[in-house]
DNA sequence: CATGAATGAGTATTCATTCAT
DNA sequence: AATGAATGAATACTCATTCAT
């Protein structure tokens, strides 16, 4: 694996696990086994590295999620599969809520670049639901399901066990 | 207003507005017009100040929220009023999402003291809903409404306008 | 001697001896035996320390110079004494030219604050000459003597021995 | 223009404009559109590049200066023409004082190689004046005119307008 | 009970230089 | 002869915390 990739992987893991502000450049370079100046060759500032983390994570999330729901056939099944996806995700040992909402809590309100990336990822989830539900003529439910999506991630982080995600799924079933 | 109170007020405002990690002790003592050693007399560490912020905010939130819903009579009206409360809150210029979920994104996963306080506040909201809905025999909806509560705060922070909060309220109406 | 004074003294010595850019904050705090944060408490940035160096040096230079020439009585003697002052200064082991012109060569052209301080010190020398020569009705020579002043310092730095300063004094004698 | 030449040209411009220490190798290679290793092939260290800058600049300055004064016939006219040369130079938008004295303010006192180059250039100016004045039997004035030369450059840098250069010329006229 | 000077470990970032290709 | 990725040491600066008064 090449240098740049190693940096992004390590930073992604640490930003998610510990938060952006609590992760120092020194820890990133140490765990990525990379010289400090090498990191700065690829990412002129820590924020640039954050932006890449958000970009890559959004991309990967969308890809995995689409792959996951593609296994289902009806719109309703697909929509519910999204919550199974979250359930699986939330059961992982390193689950720590939503990558994007966590960052949103850390960056200043006036950081336009980062906040736009976050909003964009969220909008892609709304679009995903809308795309799924269109064939069934239930597009209007997209925003509601998206709210449950955020709730599952965020509330699932705070409480022990999987009940928030499961409850969100149950609510989604009612809606559909 | 006395010293300790001034510290807590200023810290609360800054922790919510800028985040915990982005708020330095120096800024707190400067804006509170307090000597550094005075702050450390009341709060031996920055985390102790954070804990007090969470405690006071939980208390004040619960108080205001209860006062707000007390103006309504039926359980259903009271439950929906919670979302009007969020709507009002979210329209304030300095709205920045949920005080507690924001902190949850900033502190290490293994910070038991802080995470417990956050969970406790969230549980108090679940109980509030449960208490409201009990007379109507709809206690089972408490967790669902609480999920919508979190969603309204968190999703309302990321997007422009009030549609997330309004959508959450609409979903609550359906449930009831 | 108190902390702040120690910082300024050490910084002054090093800025003059090694130059501003070649002197690191770390060297200053080490030689001043002061903690890094202490330095930054007194001087929020390295440039602020530079500004203080220029201020203090201008003040001290003016004071010593005035004290030195006060020992002479006629305007002509006083004016020439300025060059004896430089001669004495230039013979010191650590002589490294003009404190102010050295800095002028190091700071960006657009650093208004620093450049103004430098110009101001130079103007105070012009005024000094003007004040000395006024009683003799030779004020018009002030700028010419000031040019020789700068030349003595700057050319005296580049060459071995004291001939530049002595030549400057000889030229001053001719003018008077 | 070949690689080496491009490097020297860019470095010369930047060293003069921004100073030696404030000019990074990266800026040089970027503006010269040259690979980093190429620069280090021609100049094993940054100081080597500095040395070449001083060498080339000394050469070019002497050439232009001689060409400029050759247009005049008498020793006195030639000597004064030197100050017209400075006047022209000082009126250029990018005038920033004396190339050599600026560097002298930036390099450590014990950098023998660089300081010798600087002194050598200054001596070449003294020789130039001596050569000019010899036919008129005024060689003894060479050092005095050279002092005015340095003063014109250095004082002309600090103050607004051209008065220092003009005053230096006027003083030269008196001497001759 | 209050003060503010002092601290040491930490931050993000930049430097001139080297090396494998 | 030319490349550009990689390096380690240094840079200016900030942090939460302590201590003598």
For residue range C54-75, list pLDDT tens digits in order: 999 999 999 999 999 999 999 9
Q: In the predicted model, is pLDDT for residue B98 greater than 80? A: yes
Query: Where would I find the H helices in chain B?
Result: 3-18, 25-32, 36-42, 46-69, 75-91, 99-104, 112-133, 142-158, 163-175
Torsion (CA) A68, A70, A73, A76 in degrees, nearest 10: 60
Tens digits of residue pLDDT in A156-172 = 999 989 999 999 999 99
Contact C101, D105 (CB under 8 A): yes
B146 contacts A148? CB cut-off 8 A: no
Given a cut of 90, whether residue B13 has pLDDT beyond it is: yes
State in Å, rounded, how far the first CA of chain D is from the last one: 44
Query: Per-residue pLDDT averaged across C42-56, rounded?
Result: 97
User: What is the Cα–Cα distance from C145 to D132, expressed in whole angstroms?
Assistant: 25
| Residue B14: predicted pLDDT | 97
Give the pLDDT band of residue A93 (cuts 50, 70, 90): very high
Residues of B in contact with A105 (CB under 8 A): 19, 97, 101-106
Q: How far apart are CA C13 and CA C15, in angstroms?
A: 6
User: Does pLDDT of A151 surpass 90?
Assistant: yes
For tokens 């002509």, name the residue: C76
Q: Which of residues 57-96 of A touch B (CB under 8 A)?
A: 96
Selection from B98, B152, B104, B143 nearest residue B125 by Cα: B143
Residue D21: count of CB within 10 angstroms of its CB: 16
**Does residue C171 belong to the interface with chain D, where contact is any CB pair within 8 Å?**
yes
The Cα A166–Cα A152 span in angstroms is 8
Q: For residue A70, what is the DSSP state?
A: T
For chain B, domains (ranges, CATH) are 1-44 (1.10.10.60), 50-175 (1.10.357.10)
Confidence band, pLDDT 50/70/90 cuts, at residue C164? very high
Can you tell me the distance from the alpha carbon of D45 to that of D25, in angstroms, rounded to the nearest whole number?
A: 10
Place of tokens 């910082």: C7
The rounded percent of chain A whose pLDDT value lies above 70 is: 100
- The Cα of B94 is separated from the nearest Cα of chain A by a number of Å equal to 10
Q: How far apart are CA D168 and CA D176, in angstroms?
A: 12
Distance CA A19, CA A171 (A): 30
How much is the CA Rg of chain D, to the nearest whole Å? 17
Q: Is the CB of D30 under 7 A from strand F?
A: no
**Distance, CA of A97 to CA of B88 (rounded, Å):** 27
**Closest nucleotide to residue C21 (Cα to C1')?**
F11
Average pLDDT, chain C: 96
Ranges of chain D with pLDDT below 70: none
- How confident is the model at residue A76, as a pLDDT? 97
Give the ranges where B70-141 is alpha helix by DSSP (H): 75-91, 99-104, 112-133
What are the strands, taking DSSP E only, across D99-148?
Answer: none
Q: Which of C148, C134, C5, C17 is nearest to C78 (CA)?
A: C134
Residue C15 structure tokens: 């800025």
Per-chain mean pLDDT for chain B? 96
Mean pLDDT of B133-153: 97
- At residue A59, the 3 state secondary structure works out as helix
What is the torsional sign of CA C29, C35, C36, C40?
Answer: negative
Structural contact between residues C22 and C85, judged by C-beta atoms closer than 8 angstroms: no
**Predicted local confidence at residue D46, as pLDDT:** 96
Beta-carbon contacts of residue A95 (< 8 Å; ≥ 6 apart): A89, A156, A157
Question: B106 to chain A: nearest residue by CA?
Answer: A19
Q: Where are the beta strands (DSSP E) in chain A?
A: none
Class of residue C169 by CB neighbours under 10 A (exposed 0-12, middle 13-18, buried 19+) = buried
Answer whether C40's CB lies under 8 Å from C26's CB: no
Residue B8 neighbours by CB under 8 Å, 6+ apart: B49, B52, B53, B56
User: SS3 for A92?
Assistant: coil
CA D50 / C1′ F11 distance in Å: 22
Burial class of residue B15 (count of CB atoms within 10 Å of its CB; 0-12, 13-18, 19+): buried
d(CA B161, CA D78): 78
Query: What are the structure tokens assigned to A133, written together?
Result: 């539900």
Instruction: Measure the CA–CA gap between C159 and D119, rounded to whole angstroms.
Output: 7
Give the per-residue pLDDT at D1.
73
Q: Which of A30, A39, A44 is nearest to A8 (CA)?
A: A39
How many degrees, rounded to 5, is the angle at CA B30 between CA B28 and CA B31?
70
Dihedral sign, Cα of residue A142, residue A148, residue A149, residue A151:
positive
pLDDT digits (tens, 9 = 90+) for A65-78: 999 999 999 999 99
Give nearest nucleotide to A46 (CA–C1').
E12
First to last CA, chain B: 44
Q: Which residues of C touch D119 (CB under 8 A)?
A: 158-159
- CA dist list (Å): B144 to A144, A164, B81, B162: 13, 9, 15, 20
The mean of the pLDDT values for chain A is 96
Chains C and D touch (3+ CB pairs under 8 A): yes
Confidence of residue C150 (pLDDT cuts 50, 70, 90): very high
CA distances from D174 to C164, C175, D9, D141, D167 (A): 19, 9, 39, 11, 11
Indicate which of A98, A148, A158 best probes the interface with B, i.e. most B CBs within 10 Å of its own CB: A158
Chain D within 8 Å of C21 (Cβ-Cβ)? yes
Task: Give the residue-averaged pLDDT of C45-62.
Answer: 97
The DSSP secondary-structure symbol of C140 reads: G
pLDDT confidence band for A1 (50 / 70 / 90)? confident
* CA distance linking residue D116 with residue C159, whole number of Å: 10
Rounded to a whole number of angstroms, the CA Rg of chain C reads: 17
CA distance C13 to C49: 12
Q: Would the pLDDT of B1 be above 80? A: no
Distance in Å, alpha carbon of C160 to nearest chain D alpha carbon: 9
Q: In degrees rounded to 5, what are phi and psi of residue D158?
A: -75, -35
Q: Which two tokens stand for residue D150?
A: 């340095």
Burial A108-125 (b: 16+ CB within 10 A, else e): eeebeebbebbeebbeeb
Which residue lies nearest F7, CA-to-C1' measured? A35
């Amino acid at each position: 694996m090449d240098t740049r990739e190693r940096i992004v992987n390590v930073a992604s893991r640490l930003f998610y696990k510990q938060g952006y502000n609590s992760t120092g450049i020194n820890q990133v370079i140490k765990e990525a086994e990379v010289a400090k100046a090498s990191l700065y060759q690829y990412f002129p500032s820590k924020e640039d590295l954050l932006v890449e983390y958000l970009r890559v994570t959004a991309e990967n999330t969308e890809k995995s999620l689409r792959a996951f729901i593609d296994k289902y056939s009806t719109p309703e099944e697909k929509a519910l599969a999204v919550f199974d996806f979250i359930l699986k995700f939330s059961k992982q040992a390193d689950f720590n809520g939503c990558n994007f909402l966590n960052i949103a809590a850390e960056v200043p309100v006036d950081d336009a670049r980062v906040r736009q990336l976050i909003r964009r990822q969220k909008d892609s989830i709304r679009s995903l639901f809308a795309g799924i539900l269109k064939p069934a003529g239930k597009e209007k439910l997209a925003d509601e399901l998206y709210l449950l999506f955020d709730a599952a991630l965020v509330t699932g982080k705070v409480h022990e066990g999987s009940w928030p995600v499961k409850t969100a799924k149950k609510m989604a079933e009612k809606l559909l």
